[in-house]
Each structure stands twice: as structure tokens, then as C-alpha cells.
Structure 1
Amino acid sequence: MVNVTRTIQEAGPWLFVPPTDVDITHKRWRRRRSLIWLGILVPVALLSLARLGTYLWFDNLISFPSIHIGSSPYLIPALLIIVLILVMLLPTLALGRSPHVRFDPSDISVDFGSVKGLAPEVAEIKKTLELFMYRDRFGSEMGGQARRGVLFEGPPGTGKTMMAKAMAKEAGVPFLYASASSFQAMYYGQTNRKIRAYFKSLRTLATRYGGAIGFIDEFDAIGAARRGLGSGSTEGVTGVVSELLVQMQSFEIPSRFARWRASIGRGIPLLARRSPKATYVPNVLMVAATNRASDLDPALVRPGRFDRIISFGLPSRSERMELIDFFLTSRSHDYDLDVELNRERIAAKTSGYSPAMLERLFDEALVVATRYGISVMRYSHIEEALLTVSIGIARVEPYPTSQRVAIATHEAGHAIMTWACGKNRTVEMVSILKRGPALGATLHDGIEESFVETRSELHAMMKISFGGMVAEEVLLGESSSGASGDLINATQIGARCVGTYGMEGLFLSLASTGRPNDDVANVVNDAKARDLLEDLLEKMYAETVAIIKVHRDLVSKVADELLLHEELTKEQLYELLPQGDAEVLDLRES
């Protein structure tokens, strides 16, 4: 098995010895450019001096009469017509221009030191960058072919664009950024022209500076898989993908000047010909990012176009800790956020957050601090920002007394069921304030970060979902419409247990035979699976009723506190509950 930690640590030093092939090629191009300009300017200067001397000599011999051209009344209208024609034609002529934005290394402030929480990805990209910077030696000394394209795929906000900028910064070459949607045009064929212009700019800069990196964001907008016309695809989409295939494979095509020189060489007698030089292949690294790699055309992601696909996932708890430390260094905060325990709490409460979401959370906490007239954020501000980001801004609604009691009882039922059967979960907050569409909220999270879910944990989540409705029925005599979302959640979890995970006696995976992302529809459309799901929901409901009846005093106690304070923190809630684990009930059939 590969030791990932050792691989990351060994990714720092380069295999080859500087200077890089990129630097060598750039210096060679600068010398060549100086010689070209010298060869142009010297003859021009000599010809200009000769012409000036000849003119002065003739001027002394012959005096030419001056010719006066009078003003014409048609001159100004003619100029206006010319200007109007240019104004009308220039936008049309500019439709085929490359839509990229060029960044030089000095314009980019992001380097690998600024990329946090992505240590394995950075190690892999460093190796790719090394092959890019030492491409010629990698080919001549080792016989290999450097990677020509890298595809970044993963959820939004996971650092794909930042990583591409860091690559350009570390390589010291121009960086051409373009959004895939910017290639799209209203006229047929203009999108293909823009793609050709973009890759031409890449090859030109790569020839000039020894290398260039191109980055296309949201690549699936122009690289989606080609399908038959009967399935909704159009000829234009197919043409765009075909153009991408040609351009990503055409780095070896000689330039127009090289082809012109070769055509002239073919007309020279064989004995007088010079041996042709090897075609220079521009050192271009193509990077693309997408959230939907599965939608891309298979021909695009094959080796030779995108040689490496790097997945960017959501950060783990340790990676979130690294990101939290990094974000807090640049933001004013109180001393309580320097306490390691509080930072660990933030990392625990932000499971499923991307780096962009974490950064936004701290910005929102600073906004909360300004509402209180404070210039530094505190841990309590982050907790409030978490609620705002997760479920919305709190609003005090003038509920009728009966509805207020029902909402408090409902949320108390969720909290008690989490405490009673969610052994690996803890309640973070209970509220009866309206936030977004929710009339109340009970936030609970895992004590430890979990990557898989067991059958007992999924059953516990179903019972927690039933807790609100059952609490209303047991304490108030009937449930309300507020349980609709809980029933949806319980049904979705149960459908995964039955039709996807094989936990309830049905081992046929309905996800493989039906809709992969619609577990409920797959189960409902199968008679046997539907009966199993209904039996499971009834069983979880019955167990929830038994637990709520045992702890009805605690439910009533928590509901009373919610009516009094409207919100209860984790510490306030657990002060109301008995110390230690909840009573374990044997609910198995005798």
C-alpha cells in the first residue's frame, strides 16, 4: 500500500536540476527575438538614412511647386460614413476573439502555501508541474511524455480554481483563464472560432515564454458528452466538442510559418535542401474544472488529452482545522477563538462544509459582530453565523398560544429522541424561532466524523425524524402539518435501507435498475420493496412512541423551557436532562 504521508513529504524536491526547460526555452526565444529585431531595424535604419540623403541631394537641385488641396464639402460626410461602417463591423469581427483573461505570475498572489486542506492534491499537482517545467529532459533522458492536461473535478468551492492559479504562480508562466460559458456565441461557428483563438493564444505564449497554462472553468458547459440527435443534442454542440478534441490534440501541428517554410523547401532541389528541423511543440498544460465529470464526453477525458483526473472532495475534520487556523490568522477575533477546544468545536460543527463555505462562515461571523458593535468576532458570533448559514435568519413570529405550544413540543420531541437513541449524536441547539421555511429547528451532529452509516444509526435517524410528530400525539393528542418534512426525511432514509443498502432483506439494488438518484421512486415502484418500506416505517414509529411515552416528562420539561427562552444551547439543554446515557428499552418482539 502506498504511504500517502511519505509521498506528500517527498513531493517537495524536484527530480531534475534547475534551470527548468521553461526558463531555457524563454531565454532562447528572447535571444531569437533580439536577433530578429536587429535584422529588421538595421536595414530599415540604413534605408531611411539613404533615402533622406537622396532627398536632400535632389532638393538642392530641384524645387518642386507646392500643390494646395482645397477643402471638399463631401470630406466630413465621407469620414462619418467610414466611421459608421467600422463601428458596425468591429463587433462582428471581434466575435471570434478568445475570451480569456491573461494573468502573469506577478499578477497572481496565490501559491501552494496559500492552499490549505488539500495536501494530497498539492503533492500530486507538484509532480504534474515538475513534468511540465522539465518536459524536454523528461522526454530526452527518461523517454516519457509529460502530462498535457489535468482535470479537476469535485463539488463547488473545494479549491479547484485556486489550485490552478497556484500552479501558474509556481511555474512562472502566463495563465489564461476562461469560463466555458464565455466561449458560447449567438452565431453559428463563432464558438469554434473562439476555441481556436484560445488555443492559438496558448501556443503563442508557450512558444514565447517556454510554457503556458490554460484554465477553463465549468468545463462541462462546452465539453458535455455528444449524443444522438434524437436525444436532444444539436449539431452545434457536437461541433464544439469536436473542435475541443482537435485543439487538445493539435499541439504538435506546425505553425503557419513552419508550414510555409516547408512548402518553399519542397521546391528547392534535393541536393541543395537543408535537413528540416524537428517541429517545436509548444509546452502547454491544459487544466479544466468541473462539478460534473461524469457528463463529459469520453473522448475528452482519455489519456493524451486529460492525462490525469484529480478529485477535490470536502475536507475532513483535521483538514477543516487547518483551514480554520488559516482563515483566523487574517481576521480579527477575540481570545476565545485562540482556544484549541473552541476551534475543534467549530471543525466538528462544520462537517460537510467546503473551504469556500468555511471562509464565508467567518465573514458572516464578522457581520454578526458588527451588529453588536464589536470589531472582533467571538465564538458566540460563529455559533450564530452557523445558524444563519444553515437554516436562515431568525424571525420572531406572533404565533397563537396553541401553535407555539405545538412547535415547542415538536422540537422537544426531536431533542429527546436524539438524546435517547442517537448514541453517536449530540444536540447542538433547539429553537422555536422561525428560520426560513422552518417554524422551529433542532440541530444535531455526530460526535465523531463518520464516513459510513450502520443499520442501527440509520434506524436512529428515522426515529429522530418521527420524534416531533409522536411527541405532539402523545402530549397534545394529535399531530400537526409541521411533521411533513420529518416524514419525507424518514421515508428517504428508509428507502435507502430497503432499496440501496440491502439492510431489510431485499438484496436486489433498485438503484442499479431504476433511477440512481431517486431511492423513493425506485422503492415505491416495486411492490415487495414498498411493503418492506412500509413495515420498516411502522416499526420505527412504534419504537418512537414507546420511547416518548417513557420520557414524556422530559419532553414536557424541555418544551416549557423553549416556551420561556425560545432557544436552548447544547449546555442549557443537557442541564435539563439526566446525566449519563438514556435508559435502554428492549423493544424486540417476545
Structure 2
Amino acid sequence: MAASAVAYLAYSNSGVSNSREITWQEFRTAFLDKGLVEKLTVVNNHKVRVKLHSNATGSMYPTGTLSGEYHFSIGSVEAFERKLDEAQQELGIPSHERIPVAYQDEISAVGAILNFAPTVLMLGFLYWMSRRSSGGSGGGIFSIGKSRAKLFNQDTDVKVKFKDVAGMDEAKEEIMEFVKFLKEPAKYEKLGAKIPRGAILSGPPGTGKTLLAKATAGEASVPFLSVSGSEFVEMFVGVGSSRVRDLFASAKKNAPCIIFVDEIDAIGKSRAKSGSFGGGNDERESTLNQLLVEMDGFGTNEHIVVLAGTNRPDVLDPALMRPGRFDRHIAIDRPDVSGRKGIYMVHLRPLRLAEELAKDMGSFAQKLAVLTPGFSGADIANVCNEAALHAARKGSDYVGSINFDTAIERVIVGLEKKSRVLSPEEKKTVAYHEAGHAICGWFLEHADPLLKVSIIPRGAGALGYAQYLPADRYLLSTPQMNDRICMTLGGRVSEEIFFGPENITTGAQDDLQKITRMAFEACANYGMNDVIGPVSYGGDRATKEGMTKPFSEKTAEMLDFEVRKMITNAYERTRILLTEHREDVEKVAKLLLDKEVITREDMINLLGKRPFIGRSDDMDKWLDEHRGETSAPPPLEGSPQAEVDDPAPIPGLATAKALDDTRLL
């Protein structure tokens, strides 16, 4: 069809392209005046094609051209008709013998291409968009409503087992029921039991939710359909619902199988919170509605389990969380010491460790677990990888203990800034600031024991930091919170004692922000203030999320007064403590200026053991048994879980005190 169109265009243009262009004067003198013109054809209102009589072949003008193929251009049809009538009238040609004039519209090949170019470009753009939206998997625009779930076959792809997942024993035990049901459904069905429809895996980022879901599929030896929640929402209306239907249709074909929806909060947010300000929310709601229907619609004998991962379970719709859809709510928190040891064992196996570490890998993994409180599985994997990278940069053949120490410091506070040279005054200020924190932590009963303190500039603005090993504590009492506030204020108070109130630096801004948040939470949320009473206003978080404060102006004044009172009392208590131990602060500061990094063993050598009975941790016990060794101690089994340096029992990274260089200037 295309070839015939091209042939037609070529044929239709042959008359003009092969003819010779002449002027009006040449036409009149050579053809019209001599009576050689048989017919004139006006083409597209701007060219006139001349057809000569057949007996004019012998008297061509000019010679050497093809007969009968001439044309000339005109400005307008009206002017051409007027000039032609005048010329024939001058020649005395009667009206019935005058030259016939025909009118014809023709199109050139170039013109045809230009006319069709926008359509061709539009079709090409649509084809490219369909290929891009389908991910290059074929199907084009017709597959836009198909599910993007990736199918892992149990024989080839899902190789992860529960032995590869460490640090979440309770979650593995709870999810084992799904594995047992998918392996032996008859054992449960004969008793009338129904398969749980699904489970929500919730927890902080990096704790292994996706890994646990994949291990479940690997243990059950069933297909595993993995999809992200954001892949259901597109710019086209109805695509999300169509993809949900296609996902469950694929699951039914591969049953028994597991569907894993990662980051389900992208489509599962509460419909009451999402609002109705535009079509995007309506599309998300229709996708959620379709998901609710599918989860409550497929039969219990189809052996399909839906697992979903999210780190924001509080925003999910209640209809999605009810029994019958997601029956199990499995919380995967940051691992404790024993869990971190198991995760280290998994990630240490592929590494080429030094001989002394490889011989006693369990003890070394326990040491690393205690040194990294609050780390998630992803953080631990990053530490092991950074240690191997550091060993490679140094040209080592094996990964040693020093590489892991450097990797842990890099993950917590960043790289050492060798180009950042502090002046003697700034270095002294940082040393006394960190010494104040260290002494407060050493002589306050409920403070966290110090692990390491450094004044080496690291990371983005960290001029010094102190690392602690918190005890296994999920609740904070009033004395514990007061001691923690005093320890945080130790740096600021130390600067005031040794350099005077007029020379206090801006490096304590981070400390002041922390204690202000602690004090506000204690008064407004935890009910730890006698004046305000046992009430909770939701704390700082509720104030930020709400448009108005959840308390009156009078209560706000009371809160402001009590928070300031709590901080000033702690400030005075810290001043008295550091004044009593002024010599100890100077000892620690001078040792810091000399060595730049001091450890728990250095603190014991300087100040003796902490003066509190029953407050020794595993590192203190190890130091008692291994006096004189310089390597870092591997703590004993059952070390307490590390807690973050926050007022609320919310998991976080290891405590790292940092001074900001911009605040010191």
C-alpha cells in the first residue's frame, strides 16, 4: 500500500518535474501567437501547464526539449485569466475557439511527507511511551494495566533460607506457620483451620523485612511474587486497580505462592488521612479498594499468602489491617546484642579475615555486636563491607580488627578529616567539652558507660564525639532521665567552668536541642512533672502534626516554665558535679590533647572504676580478666542490648556526640 502511494506521488509529479519553465512573454510569442496551444492546466493555483498541439512537434521552441512539456508561474488565477482573455482578444480569436483552461490540485512527495509527519511523530511517541511503560518486556501500550510483579521461581531464584536471616528469631518463629501451611496444607485443613490471609512486616528501615519475606518463600519452596507499592500508582486512571487484579490473577495461576508488597503504605494509607484534593488521591483510593476486595475475595483453598512490608504501620488504613486481610502484624525491630552477633556471623563468613579472627569468629562477632548498639542489619552489612574496603585501600591481604574499628567509626561519625586542622584554642575547647561529657557519664549512676571519646575531626562538621554503650533499657525513670540530661549538659558546663561564661562556644547547640526535647517530652508527654500532673498532650510530635497546640495558652506557659526549670536545675547539678571533679576533667582533657582518642581502659587507669556497685557491664568484666592487652575486648555472651541516646524508647543508631565546627566559629 505504501509502495503504491509512493508510485502514485512520483507519477503525479513527473509532469512538472520534467517540464521546462518559461515566462509569460515566451509563452505568448512562441506558442499562443502561433496557435500551437491545445490546452492550459492551472496546477494548485500558482502554476500553468502548457499542452501543445500534436502537429507542433516539428516547430519546438526552444529546441532540444521534450515536446508539450512547458509550464510558467502565475501570481493569481484572476490576473492570469484576465491577461489570457486580453491576449486572445488582441489575436482576434473567437470565443468558441479560445484555449480551454482546466484547474487541478496536485501534491508532491515532500508535501505528502510533511503533511503526515505530525501523525507519524505522534504514533512514534505513543509507541515509545508504551515500550517505556512496559519496561521493555513487550506488550506495548496494551500491557500498561498488567502487574509489574517480578516472579521468582522456587527452583532457580529463591535461594535465601532462614539460616541466612539472623537477628529476628521471634519474627521467624511467627512466620514459620506460613511456611508449614504452604508445605503441608492438609495437616491444618483436616482440623478445619484456615490459612492466614497475610502478614504485615513492620519495622525501621534496614531491619530485613524484604529478606525475611524472601526467606519465607525459599523455605516453603513456592513461587514468590515481589512488587513495590508505588508501582500500582500511575498517571493513567484505573491502572492501579487493573494491576492489582492482574497480580492476584497471576498468584492464582502459580498457587501455592507468596505475594510480597514492599512499601505498602504507598497505596495503603488511611483514606481518612489522604484527603480528597485531586484525582491522585481518588486513584490511590480506588487501588486500595481493589486490594481490599482481592484480599477478602480469593478463596481460602487457593493457598496464597500476602506479605507486606512497611516502616510506617501507623498510617495504614484500618480496613487493610483487620483480621481476614492481614491477620498477623509482625514487628521487626532493630536486633539486640545476640541478634547483632548472628548477623555479623552471616556477613563475616564471606570475608577473608585475619588468622586470629577466623579462629575465634564467634568471639569477634560478639565484640562487634557490643560495639555497635542500635545498628540494623543493613548497618552491620555496611560495617563489614567498609572494613573490607579499608583493608583493600591499605593493601592488606586480610581484613583485621583495626579495619573494623575504622569502619564502625566511619559509619557512626564519618571519615576522618585530615585536611581540617584545628587551632590550639579550638582543640583545647573541644577536649574540655568532651572531657565534661566523659566525667559526667563516669560519676552519674544512671548515665551510660563511656566506650570511647575522640577529638579527631570527622564527617560533616564533627570536631569530636563520645561513644557510649547503653544498658538494656526500654523505659526511663525520672532519675535516669535527669542523669542523662546532666551528662548531655556536661560539655557546656565544662566550657563555662574552665574558660568562663564569656567564652562559651556555640558547639553545644546539639546538646541543648537534645535536652530541650527530653525535658519537653518529660513534662508534656510522660507526666513526670508534679506541677503539670499526670497528663499527656502527645508531646512535641502532636504539636508539629496539628494545626493548633493540644493545650491552652496557660498550659503552654506552665510547660515553658517547667521545662526551663528542669533544665536549669540539671545545669546547676552538673556544675556542682564538675566543680567537685575539676581535677578529673583536667586529667581527661590533657590525655585527650595528648592521645586524641581515649578508651574505657584509659578512663579506668585515670579515674579508677565507676563508684557504683552492680553497674559493671561485660566490657568491665573483660578488662578485669585481660589486663594489659591492647586489643579491643570481646564481651561475653548475653551482653545487654544497646539503647539509643534518646528520651523515648525509639530505636536509633549508636550514640555519637558531635561538635559542629560551624558552631565553634
Would you say how many aligned residue pairs link Structure 1 and Structure 2? 480
Partner of 1:110: 160
Measure how far apart 1:462 and its partner are: 0.8
User: What does residue range 272-351 of structure 1 map to in structure 2 within 5 Å?
Assistant: 281-337=301-357, 338=360, 342-351=364-373
Q: What one-letter code is carried by the residue in structure 1 that aligns with 2:505?
A: S
Paired-residue identity, %: 29
Could you report, residue by residue, the CA deviation over 1:143-199 in whole angstroms, capped at 9, with x for unpaired residues? 222112121111112221111112212222211111111222111111222222111
2:290 aligns with 243
Q: Does the C-alpha gap of structure 1 residues 197 and 582 become closer, same or farther in structure 2, counting only changes over 3 Å?
A: closer
Sort the Cα spacing of 1:134 and 1:344 in 2 relative to 1 into closer, same or farther, 3 A: closer
The corresponding residue for 1:119 is: 169
Worse-matched range after superposition: 343-352 or 467-476: 343-352
For 1:93-116, what per-residue CA distance to the aligned partner results, in whole angstroms no more than 9, with x for missing partners? 221121011100121110122121
1:23 aligns with none
Kept after mapping to 2: 8 A contact 1:472/1:479: yes
1:536/1:98 CA distance change after superposition, 3 Å: same
Distance 2:328 2:402 in 1: 43
TM-score norm. by structure 1 comes to 0.74
- What's the Cα RMSD here? 3.2
Instruction: Please tell me whether residue 431 in structure 1 is matched to residue 454 in structure 2.
Output: yes
- Partner of 1:450, secondary structure, is coil
Q: Secondary structure at the match of 1:430?
A: strand
The one-character-per-residue Cα deviations of 1:459-479 (angstroms, maximum 9, x if unpaired) are: 111111111111111111131
- Select which of 575, 580, 583 maps to 1:545: 575
Q: Which aligned pairs between 1:353-368 and structure 2 lie closer than 5 A?
A: 353-368=375-390
- The match for 2:260 is 215
1:469 is matched with which residue: 471, 478, 492?
Answer: 492
How far apart, CA to CA, are the structure 1 residues paired with 2:612 and 2:584? Answer: 11
Q: 1:580 to 1:227 in 2, by over 3 A?
A: closer
Q: Residue type matched to 1:112 in 2?
A: F
8 Å contact from structure 1 (residues 510, 522) kept in 2: no
C-alpha distance in structure 1 between counterparts of 2:246 and 2:6, whole Å = 40
**Residue correspondence of structure 1 range 403-442 to structure 2 within 5 A:** 403-423=426-446, 425-435=448-458, 436-442=460-466
The equivalences for 1:150-299 within 5 A come to 150-206=199-255, 211-227=256-272, 232=277, 234-252=281-299, 281-299=301-319
Task: Give the match's secondary structure for 2:469.
Answer: strand
Aligned to 2:411: 389
Does residue 563 of the first structure (1) align with residue 593 of the second (2)? Answer: yes
CA spacing shift, 1:546–1:228, aligned 2, 3 Å:
closer
AA aligned opposite 1:384: T
Q: Is residue 516 of structure 2 the alignment partner of residue 491 of structure 1?
A: yes
More helix by share: 1
Cα shift at 1:422: 4.7
Amino acid in the other structure paired with 1:462 = I
Q: 1:402 aligns with which of 394, 412, 425?
A: 425
Question: 89-98 or 217-226: which moved more?
Answer: 89-98
Query: Partners of 1:430 and 1:85 in 2: how far apart?
Result: 61
Question: Could you tell which deviates more after superposition, 375-384 or 460-469?
Answer: 375-384
Cα distance in 1 for residues equivalent to 2:364 and 2:182: 43
Note if contact 1:131-1:147 (Cα within 8 Å) is conserved in structure 2. no
Conserved 8 A contact 2:229-2:262: yes
Is the alpha carbon distance of 1:558 and 1:361 closer, same or farther for their aligned partners in structure 2, counting shifts above 3 Å? Answer: same
Structure 1 unmatched runs, 5+: 1-68, 253-279, 584-590
Render the CA deviation track for 1:497-520: whole Å, top value 9, x for unaligned.
Answer: 22233333243333348744869x
| Alpha-carbon offset, residue 242 of structure 1 | 0.9
Alpha-carbon offset, residue 580 of structure 1:
4.9
Report the alpha carbon displacement of residue 72 of structure 1 after superposing the two structures with TM: 5.3
Distance verdict in 2 for CA 1:481–1:180, change over 3 Å: same
- C-alpha change, 1:369 and 1:228, in structure 2 (3 Å) is closer
Question: What CA deviation, in whole Å up to 9, does each residue of 1:223-249 have, x standing for no partner?
Answer: 111127756573222211111112212
Question: What CA distance in whole angstroms lies between the structure 2 residues aligned with 1:170 and 1:229?
Answer: 37
Q: Give the alignment partner of residue 482 of structure 1, picking from 501, 507, 511.
A: 507
CA distance in 1, matches of 2:522, 2:366: 32
Instruction: Give the 3-state SS of the residue equivalent to 2:384 in structure 1.
Output: helix
2:473 aligns to what SS in structure 1? Answer: coil
Q: Tell which structure's C-alpha radius of gyration is larger.
A: 2
Q: Distance in 2 between matches of 1:461 and 1:561?
A: 24
Q: Does 1:511 align with 2:537?
A: yes
DSSP-derived class of the 2:421 partner: coil
Per-residue deviation, 1:565: 2.7
Contact 1:336 1:379 in 2 (8 A): no
Deviation at 1:214, TM superposition (A): 0.9
**Displacement, 1:530?**
2.5
Secondary structure of 1:375 counterpart: coil
Normalising by the residue count of structure 2, what TM-score does the alignment of the two structures yield?
A: 0.66
Q: Look up the match of 1:11.
A: none
